[in-house]
Amino acid sequence: MTKITEQKAALPNSLPRPEGEEEQLLRIWYAPTGWRWFTAVNNTTVGVLYLGAAFVFFVLAGLVALVMRTQLAVPENHLVSQDLYNQLFTVHGTTMMFLFAVPAMEALGVLLLPQMLAARDLPFPRLSAFAIWAYIIGGGVFFSTIFYDLAPKGGWFMYPPLTLTEYSPGDNADFWLLGIGFIEISAIAGAIEIIVGILRTRPPGMSLDKLPIFAWSMLVFAGMIVVAFPAVILATMFLEIERSFGWPFFTAAGGGDPLLWQHLFWFFGHPEVYIIFLPAAGLVSMIVPTMARTPLVGYKLIVVALIATGFFSFGLWVHHMFATGIPSLSLAFFSATSMAVAVPSGIQVFAWIATIASSKGRFQLNTPSLFVLGMLFIFTVGGLTGVMVAMVPFDWQAHDTHFIVAHLHYVLVGGMVFPLFATFYYWAPMVSTRMLSERLGKWCFWLMFIGFNLTFLHMHITGLVGMPRRVWTYSEASGWGTYNFVSTVGAYIIGAGVLVFIIDLIRNFRVGQHGMSNPWQAGTLEWLPTDLYSTRSIPHVTSREPLWDQPNLAEQVESGQHYLPNAPTGGRETIVTSPIEAKPQYVIQMLGPGWMHFFAAVFTAACFLLLTIKVVVPALVCGVLAIVCFLIWAWELDKGPAKGPIEIGAGFKLPVYVTGPVGHGWWAMVILMLVAGSLYFAYLFSYLYTWTVSPGVWPSDATDLPRLQWPIVSALLFIAGAAFFAVAKRTLPEPGEKHILTPLLVLLGALSSVFAVYLDIWCHWQAGLKPTESSYGALVYMAGVLDGQLVFAVLMMSLFVIARHFTGKLDRVRFASLENTMLLVYYTVAQALIGLLLIHGFPRVI
Amino acid sequence: MTTSKPEFSESFIGIALLTLAGPLIWVLHFAIVYGVQHIACVTLKERADFWVNVSIIAVTVAALLALLFLTLKPDVLQRLDRNQPRPENIKAFFSGMMRLLAFLSFFAVLWSGTALFFLPACGSVA
């Protein structure tokens, strides 16, 4: 075994490589074409598809905006009806936030990260592909509702009581709730992939202090998704259940509170702004040093700023609720954080300016740079108006006016759209055989920049003179006509800019990986020569800008002189390194193209969408088919240790199969548990919050509650379930053998948990509590729903583990599937015990 | 056939939590001051002012002292992470990050905590 310190002496390995290695890599990493293209999982293929789909949604939502601007161009206009206008602004906001902004950033993660980290692919390629197809199908159906009068009308934040059944009958709101809920699940799948990818598939030597800033920003981005998205998933569950079954979470008459929705929505919604901005800031932090020909000034400060922004953004949610009557001191806490978050944002802006300044005039003024400079101006204006609306008295004046519309567009377009266009022009040569046109790019920039400011700069004044948001039209006497007309002209100029970009794409963008390598003379690894298999060999990294600091690295990597220049297992593989120092630990065996992730996405989408229109039986059939697809897909995941250990170069001989906390599957499972934990935390908040609003609907007498023996039995069953699994692991047989006790214990463990959930729900029902009677009843049964969905997952996974045992794929060596199931079981038990304590204990102590 | 163990392993959770100590203290402070204020104002009515004031001052002072300590003594990270041998550049990177994050969090806690001196504990100035 080579010691870590000997690596640099051992690499590059200048000995000639055996013939046929590169051909084997090309064969293994082929990208399917024709009708099999749907099975593709290569990050470059699905990444371009993902980004392309997000851009299509951007264009569609932009066209919707143009219709709205045309309606508002002159007073008392009747181009569209009031009802259609409501649908238009809801679809515009929802599409831009959920179908464009977040997916575009995840798409860039899928597309750029493996190349930036010189990994062959992200660790779960089919999970990425599943997330992408789920998003495309779900997003496509959601957007199409605008064409047949089924689009939601409640604004992108869907506030109840407006969105409750009595005020929003029909399926329009349900399309938002189920469609967007489904897309959020897709976003979470992508986030898990990105976190594990960044922390575990970096090239040897790329310790965290050498991680590209974009990867840091994506790490924070994905972490924020893990914490923030579950809150809105829970909120959409509450609202859909209330609309479908009448559980009164938000109805004041039943002890519910519409403000609960606002808390949950904005706990997601405000971090969402930073979820969009931080990766864009990461992209800018990659482009600026290249164009300035100098390393980024303040690398550590920028990392700190990204992390601090990620945290502080979770203390801002009430700044969207300043006008709801919350006590002043509470508002002050959120106002303080709103100002605190400006500090790390400012750090990044000053670091970019300092980097440009330190280039001493070498800064290249090309299309990506122009978009970056445009972003600096626009985002800074948005940030300054953000500080203004963070002050409660000012916010009360500007609330729900066009001032806010101008502010949010300055933040989001400056903070995300301009960096994205810079990205398009900067990184296009990585996946295209031709660069985009500089001439058209500059036209695109100036049209967008001028058009944007013409649309939104004076819109601050439109708002300050009193024009409210979301109005269909306005009277001539208001005096807002000129402002609105100029805004509409500006919007069409933005549209012209985007059109120029589309023309540029049509003329010059040709997917392929044999174009110019490193046309910008950048320093990071994504500019190494690549093919279908990513880089020919995986480099040993010694600095933050390896292509600037390690001479001839590109040639060495391309001629296979670094790690893993071949495919020792005969399949798709990449190196897994330690999370901090990036030392080689093992080689991951990955899945290639397949149909199951695609069909799983199709059937999952069908299940959600059929439920939306209340076609229950076909929806359930699709749900079952989706589960079957997942199980077939998962069957191939655990390939076992048969092909290892293998040589990767520099004397490293690595295993191809590990279990426990070292394994990437274990990491993914732990992150999934964090998602579930965040969702349950949001539930606990909802329970306690609703109690503070309506303590009168909580039981005043312990005799109204189920007897204590039932929750105790339930808790014991949960604990017994976990114990069965722990013992089952000890009974695993030697390879090639079977042991009937193992599957029996696994089954008993799963059934114990199922029965425990059933018992808890049953005891409340027997005590006379109904979920439709009050918010208390709804929240009590909701705990059962949340535990029940986990227990259902445990049951499915347990049956899967049992099947693997009987087919000889589960033993003392190969037990990753059991280990992952056990992790979920332990989490489920912990969550259920907390829930039992709250549901049965809290009403007894108040 | 046995599972091979990697030659190298390193602990991650400990150093990550230590590095993020500043923002985590801010999270804790924020949750306590907002939670205590909300629940006390709803449940304690006229006695709420006293308990809101006392608890917010106590929690804010404690949080500020902890953050000040992390800012002034960043080598605490290396002492707590001593079981894991790490290169000097990694230690310096993480302790530097911890210090800067604690410094930023100090001001976030300070701004939240001092609001108490300017506004009523439970009422609205609207």
Query: Which residues of chain B neighbour A814 with C-beta distances below 8 Å?
Result: 3
Q: Tell me which chain B residue has its CA closest to the CA of residue A207.
A: B90
**A709 in Cβ contact with A688 (< 8 Å):** no
pLDDT band at B126 (very low <50, low <70, confident <90, very high): very low
> pLDDT tens across A155-190, in order?
999 999 999 999 999 999 999 998 888 888 889 999
- Is the pLDDT confidence value at B5 over 80? no
- Is the pLDDT confidence value at A774 over 80? yes
pLDDT at A644: 75
Q: Which candidate in B53, B70, B104 is best for mutational testing of the A interface (most A CBs within 10 A)?
A: B104
> pLDDT tens across A181-209, in order?
888 888 999 999 999 999 999 999 999 99
Q: Quick check: A303 and B34 CB within 8 A?
A: no
pLDDT at A603: 96
Q: Quick check: A308 and B104 CB within 8 A?
A: yes
pLDDT at A6: 46
pLDDT at A3: 46
Tell which residue, A377, A383, A390, A391, has the closest CA to residue A408: A383
Minimal Cα–Cα distance from B39 to chain A, Å?
Answer: 7
**A60 in Cβ contact with A479 (< 8 Å):** no
pLDDT at A302: 97
Comparing A490-499, A701-710, B100-109, the range with the smallest average pLDDT is: A701-710
Minimal Cα–Cα distance from B115 to chain A, Å?
Answer: 6
Q: Quick check: B39 and A692 CB within 8 A?
A: yes
Distance of alpha carbon A467 from alpha carbon A481, whole angstroms: 10
Residue A155: CB atoms within 10 Å: 17
pLDDT band at B125 (very low <50, low <70, confident <90, very high): low
pLDDT at A514: 63
Query: Which residues of chain A neighbour B12 with C-beta distances below 8 Å?
Result: 199, 578-580
Q: Which of A311, A332, A581 sits opposite B119 (nearest CB)?
A: A332
Mean pLDDT, range A21-40, rounded to an integer:
94
Q: Which of B104, B118, B124 sits opposite A325 (nearest CB)?
A: B124
Q: Quick check: B37 and A329 CB within 8 A?
A: yes
Q: Tell me which chain A residue has its CA closest to the CA of residue B112.
A: A333
Q: Quick check: B108 and A578 CB within 8 A?
A: no
Q: Which of A304, A315, A584 sits opposite B30 (nearest CB)?
A: A315
pLDDT at A338: 86
What percent of chain A is modeled with pLDDT above 90? 87
pLDDT at B4: 59
| Interacting residues of A735 by C-beta distance below 8 A, sequence separation 6+ | A811, A812, A813, A814, B1
pLDDT at A377: 96
> pLDDT tens across A668-696, in order?
999 999 999 999 999 999 999 999 999 99
Query: What are the b/e assignments for A426-441, b being 16+ CB within 10 Å?
Result: bbbbbbbeebbbeebb
What percent of chain B is modeled with pLDDT above 70? 94
Minimal Cα–Cα distance from B104 to chain A, Å?
Answer: 8
> pLDDT tens across B101-112, in order?
999 999 999 999
Please report, for residues A164, A242, A319, A768, the alpha-carbon distance to residue A772 in angstroms, rounded to integers and kept in the order given.
15, 9, 32, 12
- Is the pLDDT confidence value at A1 over 50? no
Residue A308: CB atoms within 10 Å: 27
* Length, in residues, of chain B: 126
Q: Quick check: A311 and B126 CB within 8 A?
A: no
pLDDT at B3: 53
Query: What are the b/e assignments for A48-66, b being 16+ CB within 10 Å?
Result: bbbbebbbbbbebbbebbe
Q: Quick check: A332 and B89 CB within 8 A?
A: no
pLDDT at A643: 83
Minimal Cα–Cα distance from B28 to chain A, Å?
Answer: 11
Distance of alpha carbon A442 from alpha carbon A468, whole angstroms: 35
Return the bridge partners of A646, or none.
A654
Query: Which residues of chain A neighbour B26 with C-beta distances below 8 Å?
Result: 311-312, 315
pLDDT at A570: 93
Mean pLDDT of chain A: 94
> pLDDT tens across A241-300, in order?
999 999 999 999 999 999 999 999 999 999 999 999 999 999 999 999 999 999 999 999
Minimal Cα–Cα distance from B37 to chain A, Å?
Answer: 8
Query: Is the dihedral angle over the CA atoms A636, A637, A642, A644 positive or is it negative?
Result: positive
Q: Which candidate in A8, A301, A333 is best for mutational testing of the B interface (most B CBs within 10 A)?
A: A333
Distance of alpha carbon A573 from alpha carbon A120, whole angstroms: 7
Q: Quick check: B6 and A692 CB within 8 A?
A: no
Residue B70: CB atoms within 10 Å: 23
> pLDDT tens across A739-760, in order?
899 999 999 999 999 999 999 9
Pull the structure tokens for residue A14.
């200048």
> pLDDT tens across A802-837, in order?
999 999 999 999 999 999 999 999 999 999 999 999
Q: Quick check: A658 and B6 CB within 8 A?
A: yes
Q: Quick check: B104 and A340 CB within 8 A?
A: yes
Q: Which candidate in A304, A396, A667 is best for mutational testing of the B interface (most B CBs within 10 A)?
A: A304
Minimal Cα–Cα distance from A148 to chain B, Å?
Answer: 44
Distance of alpha carbon B78 from alpha carbon B10, whole angstroms: 15
Phi-psi region of A534 (alpha: psi -120 to 50; beta: other; left: phi over 0): left
Please state whether the peptide bond connecting residue A12 to the residue before it is cis, i.e. omega within 30 degrees of 0. Answer: yes
Q: Tell me which chain B residue has its CA closest to the CA of residue A685.
A: B35
Please give the single-letter amino acid code of residue B110.
Answer: L
Mean pLDDT, range A27-54, rounded to an integer:
95
Tell which residue, B108, B94, B101, B21, has the closest CA to residue A208: B94
Minimal Cα–Cα distance from A688 to chain B, Å?
Answer: 9
Residue A672, Cα to own-chain centre: how many angstroms?
Answer: 13
Please report, for residues A307, A373, A573, A636, the alpha-carbon distance to residue A644 in angstroms, rounded to integers and kept in the order given.
38, 51, 12, 17
Q: Quick check: A300 and B26 CB within 8 A?
A: no
Task: Report the interhelical angle of A664-693 vs A258-292 (nearest 10°).
Answer: 140
pLDDT at A181: 82
**B42 in Cβ contact with B121 (< 8 Å):** no
Minimal Cα–Cα distance from B114 to chain A, Å?
Answer: 9
pTM reported for the whole predicted model: 0.95
- Is the pLDDT confidence value at A2 over 50? no
Q: Which of A308, A343, A655 sits opposite B6 (nearest CB)?
A: A655
- Is the pLDDT confidence value at B66 over 60? yes
Please give the single-letter amino acid code of residue A505.
Answer: L
pLDDT at A48: 96
> pLDDT tens across A353-396, in order?
999 999 988 899 999 999 999 999 999 999 999 989 988 899 99
